[in-house]
Structures are given as structure tokens and as C-alpha cells.
Structure 1
Amino acid sequence: MDPIEPLFSQPLFTLGDTTITVAHALLAGAGLILVLVVLLVATLMRAARTRATAAAEAAAHAREAEARMAEITRAQSEMQGRMATIADVFGSRQGELNKAISERLDAMTGRLGQSMSQQARATHESLAKLQERLAVIDTAQGNIQSLAGQVVQLQQILANKQTRGAFGQSRMEAIVADGLPSGAYEFQATLSNGNRPDCLVRMPNGAPSLVIDAKFPLESWNAIRAAGENESPEAEKQATQAFRRDIDVHIKAISERYLIQGETQETAFMFVPSESIFAEIHENFEALVQRAHRARIVIVSPSLLMLSIQVIQAVLKDARMREQAHLIQGEVARLMLDVGRLDERVRKLQTHFSQANRDIDMILTSTEKVTKRGEKIEALELGAADGGAAEADSGSQPKVAESKTGSLRLRVVDGDD
């Protein structure tokens, strides 16, 4: 018998009815060790396969990343080329647009300058005519002053009846001729009823003409003065009655002969060639003045006639100025139409510029996004550990998309839009 065998058969402990010997314990330990060895080998083989798979996947990811980086680089170079082409096109279009705008502005400036020069010439001519009229007024004022110095000699001039009539006519003609243009009056004109007034003033805007009569009856007035100098009350009374009668007859003659409805004004002038006689009539013969007013006859002295002529001259000048103003308003209206068209075209041009600026801003925004996405791609750590590789494989991978319209758009998806 082997001496070791009793040792293996020696019981160690008892489990119920079963006795566990040393041999049983050794067999159980050997089996456990074998199982552990098998498990260890399986674990080592599984770890080796896992590392091999991870290495293969890492290599595949690296190759895919390199391919994508090459594609991104190609797309970026193509985008840069297209951006350069777009910049050239925009530069050429902007140059053409600037040239067209410059040409149109030059043409508009030329037209405006020509119109303004024409207006300046017309204004200069109007001012020159106004200066001439002011010179005529200054001449008339000088004539008034000279006439004031000659009033003292009026009695001697009026001594003869023929000389008196010629003097009154000449004084009236001088005042009218100095104050009005040649076409605005007519001496000894013939009316439709055959009568011929001393002067006929043509009124503007088709209005009836104004009649001026210079045949003032001074014989009775001279008789009144002579009776006063001789201190004869009876003769002075008779001369006064004759003067009133002659004035009434003359007023009636002017009213019946020269006041024609639709052809002459409703009022006529009776010219008195002396300021002193005019003042005496208004002071001592108020009834004659009122009778003349009722007959629509106005008694005027040289100064009043000159003032009336100046008023008529102002009316004529105003009519001419209104004609010129109508022409100026027409030119200004056409100028405003041109300015309106210019404003409309400039606004359209501004709209085109605004649209072009918006397109450029959108392009710059796209390029900025592309640049940022490229920087993110460059910052990726390729070939990282298992956790990084698994996260890179979870779907957060860069993608390249090209639009159907032909223009390339680069979009990198890394977990956010």
C-alpha cells in the first residue's frame, strides 16, 4: 500500500452523511483552478478581439475623416473661387452702375443749369424794364417839381383862349406820355359814336378805355377873378353864375359824348391845368364837384392826373408781370416734374443698392458660418480613445451637402443646427 494514499483518504470534514477527504478537496481545488484558467484565457482572448476591433474601427474612422477633410478642403477652395468670381461680377456691375449714374446726373445738371440760366436772363430783363420804369417815374417827379415852379406864370399863359386850350392839351399829353408806354394811350381817338376825346387810355385785360378831356372852360373863371380884382360884387356874382353854367354844360357834354357802355369806362376825367384853380373849385364850388361826381366825371389837377397815370402804369406793369409770372410758373412746374422723376429714379436705384447689400450680407454670413464650421472641424481630435471614438460614431459627424441650384452651400452638423 502506498503510504500517501492514507493521507489522501484522511477525512477533513463531514457534510451530513458525506465525508470530505483530502483527495476530494484536492480534486475540487484542481477543478476550480482549471475553471479559473479557462475563464482567464477566454477573458484574454475577448480583450484581444476587442482591441483589434477598436483598432480597426479607429483606422476606418481615421480614413473616413481624412476623406471628409479632403472633400471639405476641395469644397472650400471651390467656394473661394466662386466668391472671387462673384466679387469680380459685383465690381464690374458696380462700375457700370456708377458710370450710368454719373452720366444721368451730368445730363440732369446740364438741363438744370440751362433752365436756371434762362430764368436768370428773363429775371434780368424784367428787372431792367422795371429800372426803366423807375427812371420814368423819377423823370415825372422832376417834371412835377418844375411844374410847381411854373404855376406863378399860369395866368399869363391863360390870358389868350387859343393859347389856353393848347396849353391844357399839351400839359395833359405831356403827363400821359411821360407816364405810359406808347401803345397804352391815343390822342384824339375816334369813338364808335364819332366823337373824339382829347385822350383815350387803353386799360389792360380787355377792360374799357378811360377818357380824359382837357377842354376846361376858363373864360368864366377869369371873369370871376377880374370882378374880384375890380371889387364889383354884382359882376362877381354874374361871373360866378356863368362859371357854374359853363361847368354844368361841359360836364353834361363829357357824359353824353364820351361815356359809352362797354367801350369806355363808366368814369371820365376832366382835366384842369392849374393846381390853384382846382383848389378854388373844391373850396368854393362844392356843388359843382358833387354834380360832376353824380355824372361820373372826376375833376383832376395835373398832380392828380399824374397820380392816376402812375396807378394805371402800375396796373399795366402788374398785368405784364402776371404774364411773365405765368411763364415762370410753367417753367417751374416742368422743373418740378423733372425733379420728381429724378427723385423716383434715385429711389429705385437706392432699392437696387439695398437689395445688393442684403445679398452681400447673406453671402458674408454664409462664409462666416463656413469658416466657423471649418475651425470646429480642425479642432476635432482624430484617433482618440474608445470613448471618444464611440462618441464620434454616435451620429455627430460632419456632413457636406450641395444645393440643387448649382451654388455650393457647406453645412457642418455637430449636434446643433
Structure 2
Amino acid sequence: MPYVLFSVAGRPVTLAEATAVAAGLLALLVFLSLVSLVRQSRARAAAAAEEAVRREEMDRRLRDLARIQAETSGRVQSMTEVLAQRQSELARAVAERLDATSHRLGETLSTAARATHESLTRIAERLVMVEAAERSLTDLSSQVVSLRETLANKQARGAFGQARMEAIVADGLPRGSFAFQYTLTTGRRPDCAIFLPGDPRPLLVDSKFPLEAVTAFREAPSPEHRKAAGQRLRADLLKHVHDVAERYLVPGETQDVALIFVPSESVYAEISEHFDAVVQEAYRLRVVLVSPSLLMLAVQVVQAIAKDARMREEADRVRAEVAALVADVDRLRERVGDLAKHFSQVGDDVARVLVSADKIARRGLRLEQLDFDSAPAPSGAPAASE
């Protein structure tokens, strides 16, 4: 009876069966081992082949790398030589540039030094001029202060306006055509009287002007004060215009128009701008307010009128002088004609003298050469024209 080792699912397993199964398993293990060994040998062969290929590829790459390294070494050496040459050329160029730059820098510094010296000289000269201008400004400021003090004083201001008016008139008109402090038959003495040519009636000029009201109008701190100062200025102007019209417009003795001299252009412009009614009232009374420029223009017009009148007065003398000049020119033409005749006669005489001199020279030449072949002229023959 077979020996039962164990049972599986109620079935008994004998020793033979177990041995057979173990043998099969062992055979299977041996087969699997052989398969594994075959596979491992194949893998090792493939790995060896791959390793050989890899080694060959590595050798090839190493050979290429060695060749490239050799080429690179050669190129690096040639580049080193080129760089050394370029470096030497660059050093030489830099040295030359530095020398040229140093030379130019020296010239520039010397030029800059000369220019600086000249500039300092000019600055010193200008400083001298500035000092002179400063002294002039100091003098001018003192003069302005003096002018302010003069304008603050009514009598001094009147003298200043009169002096300016007299300067304009005296500079523009000839002596004798004006008079200062001229006395009228009424006993009034205007500041200036201008005499027009052909008219004994003088044109009178008054140089007094109410400047206090103008100053108050300008320096008014508020609109109310400015309005009050404007009313005061208007009243003062109208009073002065009426006084001039009453005193200096004398029928038959003076011109029909009188002038009031305003010694400041700005004051005249302010009056014309803000007090046109006063200006129109003065025109109605035949009184004209004039600034320094307008007075200068009026003086030039009077000067032109006087010059024209004098030209008309001297017209006869001018015509006589022109007639005498024409007669002198006629005499000059006659004398020039006589002189031309004399010159023509002298020219003919000189030509005859030259002909005689040529004949004498020719005869002297024949005498020198003993040329007596030509028969002498008979004694009764007329002589050649000389």
C-alpha cells in the first residue's frame, strides 16, 4: 500500500506523487534557470556589443576631440600672435594718440591761458567801466535827489520848467526870433515870446504848471483819494488855462493862440488820457497844452517858416547872384575857346619844328657817311618847305 503523505481537498497525496511533483518542479526550476542563464548571456553579449560600439564611438570622438584640440591650439596660437601684433599696434597707436593729445592739450591749455588772460584783461577793463558807471550812477542818483528836491519846491520847479522850455526854444530858433520874459503893453511878462516872420504879434508860451495836483493824483492811496485829487487837478488846470487866456491873449498885440508848456511827457500823457474835457476847454479858449516833444515840433515849424520867409526875402539877391554866375560862365567859355586856339597853333608850330629837325638829322647823317651823290639844289631854286 502506497504511503500517503498528506491530503489535499480530501484527496490523499502519496509519496510517489509528491516525488513526481517535486521532480517536475525541479525540472521546471532547472529550465527556468537555463532560460535565465541564456537570457543573461545574451544580455551580456548585447551589453558587450554595445560596450564595444560605445568604446569605438568614444575612441572616434576622442580622436575627433584630439584633432579639434590640435586645430584649436593652432588657431589659438595664431590668434595669440595676431593679438600680440594688434596689441603692439594698439600700444603704438595709443602712444601716438597720447602724444598728439598731449600736444593738442598743451596748445589748448596755452590758448586757454591766453584767452583767460585776455578775458581777465577785458574783465578788468569792464570792472573799470563798471566803477566809472557806478560813479556815474552815484552822481545820477545825487542829481535825481536834487531833481526831486527841486520838484518838491514850487519856485525851483517853476525855474526847472522854464529852464527846459528856454533850452528847447534857444536850441531850435535863431537869435532874435524869440525873447524870454517879454513885457506886454498890459504889463504882463510871459515866460517866452516867439516872433513869426512877417507878423509883429508874438506867440506866447507859459512854463508854469500845477504839478502838486498831478503828484497827488498819481500817488493817491485809494479810489476816493484819487477821485478827490482828480477833481483838484481838474480845477487847477482849468484855473491856469483861464489865467493864461486872460493874461496872454491880447487882441491885436499877440497871436490868437497861447501855449502852456508841460515839462514832462508822462504828465502830458496822463492829462490827455484822464482829463480830455480840460484839454477841449483849453482848445475852446485858444490855449494849447504842449509837451517837450510838441514844443520842439512847434519850434521846428517856426524855424521852417522863418527859413522860408528869409528865402523869399533873399530871392532877388539869389537871382542876381545866379545871373552873375551865368555871366562868369560865359566869360569862362570864351577864354577856354581862346586857350584852345592857342593850343592848336602851338601844336602846328611843334609839328613844323619836328619836320625841320628830321631834315637836319638826315643831312647830318649824309655828311657823316660822305654821301654827296645827290646834286645840290640850284641857288635860284626855291627852298623846300620847312
The bucket for the TM-score relative to the shorter chain is 0.3 to 0.5
TM-score scaled by length of structure 2: 0.45
TM-score scaled by length of structure 1: 0.42
**Higher relative contact order (CA closer than 8 Å, sequence separation 6+):** 1
Larger Rg: 2
